Amino acid sequence: MTNSIAEFEDSGCIFIIGSNTSACHPLIARRVFRAKEKGAKLIVADPRNIQMARFADVAVQQRLGSDVALLNGMMHIILKNGWHDKTYIENRTEGFEDFEAVVESYTPDKVETITGVAQSDLEKMAELYAVNSPAALLYAMGITQHTTGVDNVKSCCNLAMLCGNVGVRSGGVNPLRGQNNVQGACDMGGLPNVYPAYQPVTAEANNEKFSKAWGKPLSDKIGYTITDMIQAINDGKLKALYIVGENPKLSDPNQNHIDDALGKLDLLICQDIFLSETAEKADLVFAAVSVAEKEGTFTNTERRCMKVNKAIDPLGNTLNDWDIISRLSTEMGYEMHYENPEEIFNEMAALTPSYGGMTYERLGLDGLQWPCPNAEHPGTPFLHKDQFTRGKGLFHAIEYLDPAEMPDEEYPYWLTTGRMFAHYHTGTMTRASKHLDTEQKTGYVEINPKDAKALGVNDGDIVHLATRRGETKVPAKVSKMVEPGVFFVPFHFAESPANILTNSAFDPIAKIPEFKVCAVKIEKAA
Amino acid sequence: MDFKIIPSTCSYCGTGCGVLFQVMDGRLVDTLPMKTHPVNQGRLCIKGWNLHEHVISEKRLKSPLIKKDGELQETTWDEAIKTAADGLKAVIKDHGPDSVAVLASAKITNEENYLVQKFARAVVGTNNVDHCARL
C-alpha cells in the first residue's frame, strides 16, 4: 500500500474495487466504516453484491474482467468536466498526453456496453472520486487475478494520479494483501528476479554485494516464477522442488495440470505445519512450527514490520523453519549457523536498505513502516510524498482487453472464485479450527435465484460444474450475491476444489493466473 | 498456576493485527486483541479471535515424514535432512542448479523468507525462487 490503514479514516472518498473488504480484511473495513461516520463518500465496484456495497454512496456490479474499461470511463468523465488536478499532473507526472488520447475514446456509452454499468452510475462514481479529496483507492485480488492484472493496476494508478491522490495522506493506491506476510516475502527477495528490497539479480553491483555477503558466486540469470515452474517440470527441466509453507496443489489454477506435474518430479520436499494436499505427494515432509511457537517478524500490507513472539514450546518433534533451512544448508556443504532469529534479522537489515534502520528493539509492540533506512528514521506512513520513487509518476495509455475465456455456447456462464469470511486460502489452518469450521463446513457455489429457478435447483442441491479444465460437484447456495449468469465458488475446500475449474491463462508480465474469470457450464447433479 | 500473556501478530490476512496469546502452564489457551496496537486498536475478526485453534489442532504435523514403499512414515530429523540434502545434491550434480526450485512463503517470517532465498541462491545456486503472491 502507498498509504496506511489508519489514514483511511480521514479520507474524503474511499473507492473499493475488487476487494470484498468486510469479509476478507474486516479490520480495514472498520476504518472505512469510521470514515463514513466522519462524512467520507464510499464507492464500491465489484461483480458481486458484496456487503460493502450496502454502505456505499454508489455501488456498481461491473461485468467480470471489465475493470480497465470501467476505470477509463471514470477518467473520461473526470477529464471532460475538468475535475483533474492540472498542477499535479504538470509538476509530478509524465506520459499524460498519450494516456489522455486513449481515455478520450472511452465514452460512457461505450463503457456501459462493455461493463454493464449505467452511465448515470459511472458519472456519479467519477464525480465522487474526483471532488472529495483526498481519495483512497483500495483493491485486492479482484483487480490483480486477471490476464490484464498489470493493466488493471496501472489503470488504478492512472486514476489516482489524475486527481493528485498519490503522495498525500489518506489517499493513494492501496492493494490489500491477502496473506499475513506476502509483503515480507516479496521484500525479502522471495522472487525470481530480485534480492531483498527489490535489488535486481541482473545488476552486477547487486550480485557482487550479495556474493560477498554470502561468500559464494551467484547466478545473474532470472529464475522461474511459480507459473513457469509447472511448465518447466512438464518440459523436464525442473527435477526437484522444495516448498516451504505453501499448498500449490489447491491454490494454483488448473489443478489436474499441477497434480500431474508434481508427480513427475524426482524429488518433492514440503515444509508445513499440516499435511496439506501438496505435502501428501511429497517424498519428504519437514514438520515446522506455527506462529505461536516462533520468534521473528511479519510485514503487513501497509509495510509495517512487526514482531512475532514465542508463546509456547514447539509441539512434538517439530523445528523452526530457520533451523530446518540451516541444517539442510550445512548438510549440503554450506555452513549455516544462527543463534536466533534476531541474528538473521540483523544480517538481512544490513543488506536491505528499506529495513536498514530496524532492530528488534526499535520494532517494539507497534512495529516500523519501511522505508526506514537508518537508526534515527521514524518509518514512512505514506510513499511518494514529494516525488515518486522513479522521479515522475508515469501515466500509462491502456486499452481494454477481453478476459482469456468468455462464455460461449458450450460453456455459457461466467465463473469467478475467491474467499469467504470464516475461511482462509486453502483452508489448512481455518478448517482445523473448530469455531471457524463450524461457520462453513463445505464448499458451495453461489447461484442467483433466477438461474436457480431456470436450472431447477434448490438451495443445498448438488450441482455439477464443468469447465475446459475439469469438473466438480458442489452444493448450491441460492443467493443474490451474484447476478444472473454469474457463479461464485470459494477456493478453501479440497473436496470441491475451485481450482480444478479455473483457467491457468496468466498476465504476460506479472504471471498471475486469471482466477477471477472463466466460462463454465452447470447442471443439477443426477 | 503459571499464566503468561505474549504479544504477537496475527498470521491470517495481510492486515497484521496485534494479538495477545494467553498461555497457561505452557499451554496456549486463547487469543485476545491488543488494545494499544496501531492497526486493530483492541479489535479482531472471527479468524483472529480463533487464531490459537489451528496451533493446537490435532491435525498438526508432529514429526518429519519420509516416503517409504509409497507411504509417508515418521522419521528422525537426521534422516530427513540427510535424505533431502543427498537428493538435492544428486539432482544438482546431474542436471545443474537450475533444475531445482524453491517456493518461499507468505506464511513464514521475514527471517525465514530471507533464509529460503539465501538457500536457493547461495546453497543451490539458482534464482528459481518464488512464492504465492500471485495466488
Q: Report pLDDT digits (tens) over A229-281.
A: 999 999 999 999 999 998 888 787 777 888 899 999 999 999 999 999 999 99
Would you state the pLDDT for residue A250?
Answer: 79
What is chain A's mean pLDDT, rounded? 96
Closest to A465 in 3D by CA, of A390, A420, A523, A392: A523
Q: What is the pLDDT of residue A258?
A: 85
The burial of A72, by beta-carbon neighbours within 10 Å (0-12 exposed, 13-18 middle, 19 or more buried), is given as buried
Query: What confidence tens digit (pLDDT) does each residue in A145-188 have?
Result: 999 999 999 999 999 999 999 999 999 999 999 999 999 999 99
Assigned superfamily of B3-55: ADC-like domains (2.20.25.90)
Q: What is the pLDDT of residue A38?
A: 97
d(Cα A350, Cα A182) in Å, to the nearest integer?
Answer: 21
State the nearest Cα–Cα gap between A215 and chain B, in angstroms: 8
Q: Say if residue A428's pLDDT is above 90.
A: no
pLDDT above 90 (res B133): no
Average pLDDT over chain B reads 96
Residues of B in contact with A278 (CB under 8 A): none
Tell me the pLDDT band of A305, cut-offs 50, 70 and 90.
very high
pLDDT of residue B23: 98
Q: pLDDT value at position A181?
A: 95
Place of cell 475488487: A18
Please tell me the predicted confidence (pLDDT) of residue B91.
98
pLDDT at position A249: 80
Cβ–Cβ below 8 Å for B65 and A5:
no
Contact A284 B17 (CB under 8 A): no
pLDDT tens by residue, A29-88: 999 999 999 999 999 999 999 999 999 999 999 999 999 999 999 999 999 999 999 999
- pLDDT score, position A392: 95
Q: What is the CATH number of domain A413-524?
A: 2.40.40.20
The answer to whether B73 faces chain A, any CB pair under 8 Å, is no
pLDDT digit string, tens, across residues B22-46? 999 999 999 999 999 999 999 999 9
Helices A96-103 and A67-80 cross at an angle (nearest 10°) of 100
Q: Is A34 on the interface with B (CB under 8 A)?
A: no
Q: Please, are residues A210 and A218 in contact by the beta-carbon 8 Å criterion?
A: yes
> Would the CB atoms of B11 and A210 count as touching at under 8 Å?
no
Report the residue count for chain B.
135
Give the mean model confidence (pLDDT) for residues A331-347: 98
| Cβ–Cβ under 8 Å, residues A286 and A295 | no
pTM of the model: 0.94
Q: Does residue A393 carry a pLDDT above 90? A: yes
Interface membership of A25 toward B (CB under 8 Å): yes
- What tens digit of pLDDT does each residue of B55-114 get? 999 999 999 999 999 999 999 999 999 999 999 999 999 999 999 999 999 999 999 999
The residue among B5, B36, B54, B71 with the most chain A CBs within 10 A of its CB, best to mutate, is B54
Range A173-186 burial, b when 16+ CB lie within 10 A, else e = bbbbbbbbbbbbbb
User: Does B93 contact chain A (CB < 8 Å)?
Assistant: no
- A439 Cβ under 8 Å from any chain B Cβ: yes
Q: Residue B62: what residue type?
A: K
Please write down the HEC assignment for all residues of A147-190. CCHHHHHHHHHHHHHHCCCCCCCCCCEEECCCCCCHHHHHHCCC
| Answer CATH for A5-176 from 3.40.228.10, 2.60.40.10, 3.40.50.1580, 3.40.1410.10 | 3.40.228.10
Q: Domain segments of chain A: what residues?
A: 5-176, 178-222+289-313+337-373, 224-287, 413-524
The yes-or-no verdict on residue A123 having pLDDT over 90 is yes
Say yes or no for a CB contact (<8 Å) between B7 and A365: yes
CATH topology of domain A224-287: Dimethylsulfoxide Reductase; domain 2 (3.40.228)
B24 touching A, CB under 8 A?
no
Please provide the DSSP assignment of A235-273 as one string.
Answer: TT---EEEEES--HHHHSSSHHHHHHHHHT-SEEEEEES
Do the domains A5-176 and A224-287 sit in the same CATH topology, yes or no? Answer: yes
pLDDT at B85: 98
Q: Which of A386, A387, A359 is nearest to A374 (CA)?
A: A359
What integer pLDDT is reported at residue A451 of this predicted model? Answer: 97
Note the CATH number of domain A178-222+289-313+337-373. 3.40.50.740
Q: Is B54 on the interface with A (CB under 8 A)?
A: yes
Query: Given an 8 Å threshold on Cβ–Cβ distance, is B7 in contact with A309?
Result: yes
Of the listed ranges A7-21, A100-114, A196-210, A236-250, the least confidently predicted one is A236-250
Task: Give Cα A403 to chain centroid, integer Å.
Answer: 18
Residues of chain B with CATH 2.20.25.90: 3-55
